[in-house]
Structure 1
Amino acid sequence: MRKYQVTGLSCAIAPLVVGMGALAPAASARSGSEQVVSPGQSIQKAVDAAAPGATIVLTRGTYRGSVTITKPLTLRGAEGQTVIVPGEDEEERSACAEAGNGICVTGTDAQPVTGVRVRSLTVEGFKKNGVLATRTDQLEVHRVTARDNGQWGIAQDRSTRASFRHNTASGNGDAGLYTANVFEADAESETLDTRGTVISGNRLTGNRIGMTTRRLRNLTVEHNAVTGNCAGVFVVLPRTVGDLTVRRNAVYENNTSCPATARLPHLQGIGIVLVGTKEVLVAQNAVHDNVGDSPYSGGIVVFGSMDGIPNDRNVVRDNLVLGNHPADLATRDDKGKDNKFIDNICQTSEPAGAC
């Protein structure tokens, strides 16, 4: 075992200063491609009227109602002072609102919506999801807080080249941040090449699962803080050879207990879990003090899928994995081949000998 030093994970976010001036009584154009919206006005009407590439600026305050974006534009709030919550008696309820979602970014198979940016706002209290994106390219979700939503905080499927950076997801009913090939969990479609999606610098706390990535490749998960959930990070079924890297994350004290569902047993004390994965790299993470009695409990766990799909040729190396129970490193219910545990700092493993 070689000497190893783990540097601290910094998730500090520099405040964004947005000078709005006095609140205008009606939405007004500024600098030709920028439109200012104030509480009481309709974000959706501003989005519908905006030209592609425009910026919708939301001043501080609370906005009621869902928003659907189907063209390239920027939706920007005043950091933590702009809050979007469910609306009451909306004049024309959209499909996004009917489904119980906050912000929907929606393209088509033939024409994915490209270049949408959602920044510096809070999406709170929706029945289903805070931010839901499907069929997008180059989506950016930065400095968004998604809290207390019924299912996912921030979620995306069928999409490429996305950037999820410096967001906070807390108190959501399932995953704080969920990315997948397709949302339908039973769909046996092929692994999707995300073409370089990055999930970085996010803080995920108080959710059922901090983060889930399902059937994706060419994806990087790095520098995230994942704590206080029932489970930290699930990486599920990327089966096509390609880059999927989980590195330099802090995953600790995910010890809340959540009951079983139709698809999963009860969850508690879970750090990072690989389920039916192939050639995933898990490196230089600090995974500590995840303690529970779920089948998935432990620090870094390699677990066979419910369908019997094994984990093959994954590499777990250079991680600090301590204080986890029942084990720091574990392989369970898996018949995979050539999974490697290299130069990790740990004390306990299942089976013995991986530390």
Structure 2
Amino acid sequence: MTKWHIAYMACIAAVIGAGLGAATPAVADHRTHVVFPGESIQKAVDAAVAGDTVLVSAGTYHESVKVSTPGITLRGMGSATVVAPAVKKAADGCGDSGNGICVIGTKNHKVEDVTVAALTVTGFTGSGVFAVDTDGLTVRNVTAVKNGVWGIAQERSVRGVFRKNTARDNGDAGLFLANTIKAEEGATDTGGTVVARNRLEGNRIGLTVRRLRNLTVTDNHIIGNCAGVFVVGDENMPRAGALTVRDNHIAHNNKSCPKTARLDALQGTGIVLTGAEDTLVTRNRIIGNAGTSPLSGGIVVWKSFVGTTSERNRITDNVLEGNAPADIVNTDTAGKGNTFTGNTCQASKPAGLC
């Protein structure tokens, strides 16, 4: 065994030992399954039980991974652990859908307390990480780059935590959270999902929150996308909203993205509220988002594309500078109870909102 291999095995042992050393007798039987290059992550995941960790060592792994066991942790060793598409896709509802890592429960039995951490997912035609029917999913320190649709996505789930991730150069949203993708339903309560301290860069949209309620988006760095943040509702009931977008840095989201079947062309958009209610947008710094799209501007309140108004939203204490056509744009003049107070800005449409 070479000195490098000895040092590498010592590093793995140290990681495992650090996790086990703090264990109480009640969790002493929890195992760490170590995966080395050339081995199968999926095989280790299938062998894990609640409380176990699958530790994926440095290397590139050409496979998709499906997690349906509650209470397990899938963790890499930072940027050195890369999950990329397999030559032959597994027929498992994950790889055959073009996704990298999937956390999958069922509508009547959500998979609980899964963690995905400290690895890179790249090059998938679908999403880097895709989750459905989860409760208490944590995704942290994951890099999702150059995936065809979403970097990290979740639907029909509650109490999620998305923290310190990087989503870059993905085809649609870097981070996408929704009630359900394939059906027309009212907004669902996420039970306090948290999106915090992520870096969302170079995507079509940095973050999309679609038809959801009761979550917090805070302390994220959202730059260089076509649009920064979308909070999206429509005519379905309950309405989207009752959430908070605060303390984010949203700057220079000036890529140009063409029109799609669902959405107009995008460029120069900071935050958009469309068809949303009771949303608090506060203490954000929104700088240099400029374009000629109908949705361009620093903070944009927009009647939904099916004509649903935005109501009782509070836009307060934000700092806006250099956004065009204006720092604050309110095209939803029929919306009732929207307020704009305490914002530091230079220009608004209509005038008087700064």
Q: Provide TM-score, normalisation by structure 1.
A: 0.90
Distance 2:64 2:333 in 1: 43
The residue identity in structure 1 corresponding to 2:221 is A
What residue number does 2:272 align with? 273
> What SS class does the counterpart of residue 106 from structure 2 fall into?
coil
**Deviation string for 1:72-112 (max 9, x for gaps)?**
2100000111000001135x532211110000100001110
Q: 1:21 deviation in Å?
A: 5.1
CA distance in 1, matches of 2:285, 2:110: 37
Correspondence for 1:61:
59
Cα displacement string for residues 219-273 of structure 1 (whole angstroms, at most 9, x for unaligned residues): 0000000000000000011854873000000001000101110111110000000
Which residue of the other structure, out of 220, 224, 230, is the alignment partner of 1:228?
224
User: In 2, Cα distance between the equivalents of 1:155 and 1:123?
Assistant: 13
TM-score, normalization by structure 2: 0.90
CA shift, 1:177, in A, is 0.1
C-alpha distance in structure 2 between counterparts of 1:52 and 1:199, whole Å: 25
Q: Does residue 40 of structure 2 align to residue 50 of structure 1?
A: no
Partner Cα separation in structure 2 for residue 39 and residue 265 of structure 1: 44
1-structure distance, mates of 2:149, 2:239: 28
Q: Which residue, 101, 123, 131 being the options, matches 1:103?
A: 101
- The DSSP-based 3-state class of the residue aligned with 1:110 is coil
What are the ranges of 5 or more consecutive residues in structure 1 without an aligned counterpart?
1-17, 23-29
**What is the one-letter code of the residue matched to 2:11?**
G
1:293 maps to 2:292: yes
Q: Aligned partner of 1:161: which letter?
A: R
Query: Equivalent residue for 2:171?
Result: 173
Q: 2-side partners of 1:32 and 1:273: how far apart?
A: 45
Amino acid at match of 1:211: L
- Counterpart of 2:6? none
Asked whether the 8 Å contact 1:292–1:326 carries over to 2, the reply is: yes
Q: Structure 1 residues 63 and 303 mapped into 2: Cα distance closer, same or farther (>3 Å)?
A: same
Once residues 162 and 279 of structure 1 are traced to their aligned partners in structure 2, the CA distance between those partners, rounded to angstroms, is 21
Find the aligned partners of 1:189 and 1:126 in 2 and give their Cα distance. 28
* Counterpart secondary structure, 1:19: helix
Distance in 2, matches of 1:275 and 1:225, equals 22
Cα distance change of structure 1 residues 246 and 343 upon mapping to structure 2, 3 Å threshold: same
Matches for 1:1-355 after TM superposition, within 5 Å: 19-20=11-12, 32-72=30-70, 73-89=72-88, 92-184=90-182, 187-237=183-233, 239-240=238-239, 243-355=242-354
RMSD: 1.6
Aligned to 1:7: none
CA contact (8 A) 1:302 1:334 kept: no
Deviations 1:301-341 (A, max 9, x none): 00000110000010000000110000000111452011000
Instruction: Tell me the CA shift for residue 179 of structure 1.
Output: 0.1
Task: Summarize the Cα distance change of 1:242–1:214 in structure 2 as closer, same or farther, 3 Å threshold.
Answer: closer
Distance 1:169 1:242, change over 3 A: closer
Give the Cα separation in 1 of the matches to 2:109 and 2:91: 24
* Greater Cα offset, 238-247 or 128-137: 238-247
Partners of 1:140 and 1:241 in 2: CA distance: 23
Structure 1 window deviating more from structure 2 (59-68 vs 326-335): it is 326-335
CA shift, 1:275, in A, is: 0.4
Find the aligned partners of 2:192 and 2:278 in 1 and give their Cα distance.
16
Structure 1 residues 61 and 330, CA gap change in structure 2 (3 angstroms): same
Higher relative contact order (CA 8 A, sep 6+): 1
- Cα displacement (A) at 1:200: 0.1
Change (3 A) 1:250 1:129: same
Name the SS of the counterpart of 1:144 in structure 2.
strand
Contact 2:32 2:52 in 1 (8 A): yes
Q: Following the alignment from structure 2 to structure 1, what is the Cα–Cα distance between the partners of residues 269 and 215? A: 22
Tell whether the 8 Å contact from 2:85 to 2:100 is kept in structure 1 after alignment.
Answer: yes
Q: 1:188-243 CA deviation, whole Å, 9 max, x = no partner?
A: 21110000000000000000000000111110000000000000000011854873
* In structure 2, C-alpha distance between the alignment counterparts of 1:240 and 1:53, rounded to whole Å: 37
Q: Is the 8 A contact 2:212 2:241 kept in 1?
A: no
- For residue 174 of structure 2, what is the amino acid of its counterpart? G
Number of residue pairs the alignment of both structures matches: 328
